[in-house]
């Protein structure tokens, strides 16, 4: 019976990852295409500012919103694995999300001058795109966590696909002459999360059906302190990840050179976005295995995922050694050439980064968010120190080597954590006070 249960869980995980991969694979391609078209229609400085806008936004939304996505995903999946079909606690995650969004708004308004002048060369339109998009993504990431926890991977894939399609339409409009300028291209960044929410009506229907079937099912009222602790740890994890991806861009003073570094690191960013499909389905899968199955099933899921990563990263590295510079010159033309060895190094770093992300999901599923956060921060600080010290004179080469080295250090630290099965877990944020639900819990 246990073996049949494990096989069923594995099939469910594999099916979910495949369904979600279709949506996120298209998302990765359209995101890559967004920046490729933007590079062709904008001048160097304008493209650099849009790249900086995206880098800053990605840091913000990953640090303040992805933690709630992970909290919802893990909490709902764990409760479903233990037999609760509905009535999942949403009040605490919603309050945390609102607090994060409000904090961002206050800080952004207070620092408008430094942000607008320091990052965007005084372009006020880019500042307001940043603020609007960051607030819009609060709802988008909350929905992602809810979808992932219920393993509604079709809805999750549809959400991110609508997002990428709507964003891509804006540089295309500039390319065909419907609109002009960097503001027109940048508006796609704020339109994307708003368009993605068109999948919410389908989610509401599923929620009502599930809640109606879950009458009188015991449910947890998520504890604010424990939930905030888990979300805070994941926020540090996301800060570390975005530092690895974006610190090199933000530490280059010249907008044109920053755009070149950003374009090169898209080699890592695009596959990372694609692999988000596997990671998104992996956390609820692992949380369920941890709750209902044994160590062997858990380890098998991690091992299979890492083997796929090794094969994928190796293929990308070989391809970049063969035709990488030519492809980059076609997609992202620049006066500064791209070296094939440097591009392959980024591919190796991308593989290490993906493996670290998998080990990180294992740590979250086992309730070790605090220890995982420490590993990410150590690796991120090492990368920043490397980028600040001019050990390698060329900014692009320094970013390529530093990214691979930082990802390697991170992978080693998380592997050490993974191999310590006796380590005590962090508090689980959803097992506090339990009561009987007398009525369905509405979303939000």
- Tell me whether residue 427 is exposed, middle or buried, using C-beta atoms within 10 angstroms of its C-beta: 0 to 12, 13 to 18, 19 or more: middle
User: What are the two backbone dihedrals, phi and then psi, of residue 65, each rounded to the nearest 5 degrees?
Assistant: -115, -35
- Which pLDDT does position 114 carry in this prediction? 92
Query: What six digits make up the tokens of 1?
Result: 């019976």
Given a cut of 70, the residues of the chain with pLDDT beneath it are 1-25, 80-89, 199-227, 255, 270, 273-295, 421-444
- Which pLDDT does position 74 carry in this prediction? 74
- Residue 296, Cβ neighbours under 10 Å: how many? 10
Strand-pair category, 218-220 with 434-436: antiparallel
Q: What is the mean pLDDT of the chain?
A: 77
Q: Taking CA 14 as the corner, what is the angle to CA 238 and CA 356, rounded to the nearest 5 degrees?
A: 30
Look-up of token digits 């980059």: 328
Q: Report helix angle 2-41 to 44-64, nearest 10.
A: 150
What is the pTM for the complete model shown?
0.66
Strand, helix or coil for residue 97: helix
Chain CA centroid to CA 285, Å: 17
Spatial separation of the C-alpha atoms in residues 75 and 222, rounded to whole Å:
9
Residue of 75, 55, 79 whose CA lies nearest to 67: 75
Sign, Cα dihedral of 237, 386, 52, 258: negative
Strand, helix or coil for residue 218: strand
- Which pLDDT does position 217 carry in this prediction? 41
- Which pLDDT does position 150 carry in this prediction? 77
For 180, residues 6+ apart whose C-beta sits below 8 A from its C-beta are: 174
- β-bridge partners, 267: none
């Amino acid at each position: 019976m246990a073996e049949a249960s494990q096989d069923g869980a594995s099939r469910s995980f594999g099916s979910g990852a495949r369904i979600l991969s279709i949506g996120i694979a298209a998302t990765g391609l359209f995101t890559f295409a967004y920046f490729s078209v933007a590079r062709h229609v904008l001048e160097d400085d304008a493209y650099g500012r849009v790249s900086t806008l995206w880098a800053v936004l990605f840091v913000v939304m990953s640090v303040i919103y992805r933690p709630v996505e992970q909290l919802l995903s893990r909490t709902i999946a764990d409760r479903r694995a233990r037999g609760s079909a509905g009535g999942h606690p949403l009040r605490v995650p919603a309050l945390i999300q609102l607090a994060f969004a409000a904090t961002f708004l206050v800080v952004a308004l207070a620092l408008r001058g430094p942000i607008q002048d320091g990052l965007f060369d005084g372009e006020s339109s880019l500042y307001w795109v940043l603020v609007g998009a960051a607030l819009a993504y609060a709802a988008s990431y909350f929905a992602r966590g809810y979808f992932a926890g219920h393993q509604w991977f079709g809805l999750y894939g549809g959400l991110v696909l609508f997002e990428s399609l709507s964003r891509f339409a804006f540089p295309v409009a500039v390319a065909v002459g419907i609109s002009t300028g960097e503001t027109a291209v940048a508006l796609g960044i704020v339109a994307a999360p708003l368009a993605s929410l068109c999948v919410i009506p389908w989610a509401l229907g599923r929620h009502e059906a599930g809640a109606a079937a879950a009458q009188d099912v015991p449910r947890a009222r998520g504890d604010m302190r424990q939930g905030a602790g888990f979300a805070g740890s994941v926020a540090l994890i996301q800060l570390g990840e975005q530092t690895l991806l974006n610190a090199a861009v933000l530490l280059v003073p010249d907008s044109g050179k920053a755009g070149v570094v950003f374009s090169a690191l898209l080699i890592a960013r695009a596959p990372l976005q694609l692999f988000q499909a596997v990671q998104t389905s992996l956390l609820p899968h692992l949380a369920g295995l941890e709750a209902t199955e044994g160590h062997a099933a858990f380890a098998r899921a991690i091992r299979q995922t890492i083997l796929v990563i090794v094969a994928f990263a190796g293929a990308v590295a070989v391809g970049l050694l063969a035709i990488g510079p030519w492809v980059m010159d076609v997609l992202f033309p620049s006066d500064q050439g791209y070296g094939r060895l440097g591009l392959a190094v980024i591919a190796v770093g991308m593989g290490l980064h993906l493996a670290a992300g998998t080990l990180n999901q294992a740590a979250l599923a086992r309730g070790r968010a605090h220890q995982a956060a420490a590993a990410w921060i150590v690796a991120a600080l090492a990368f920043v120190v490397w980028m600040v010290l001019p050990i390698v004179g060329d900014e692009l080469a320094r970013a390529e080597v530093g990214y691979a080295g930082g990802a390697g250090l991170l992978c080693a630290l998380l592997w050490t954590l993974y191999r310590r099965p006796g380590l005590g877990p962090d508090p689980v944020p959803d097992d506090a006070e339990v009561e009987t639900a007398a009525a369905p819990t509405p979303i939000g």
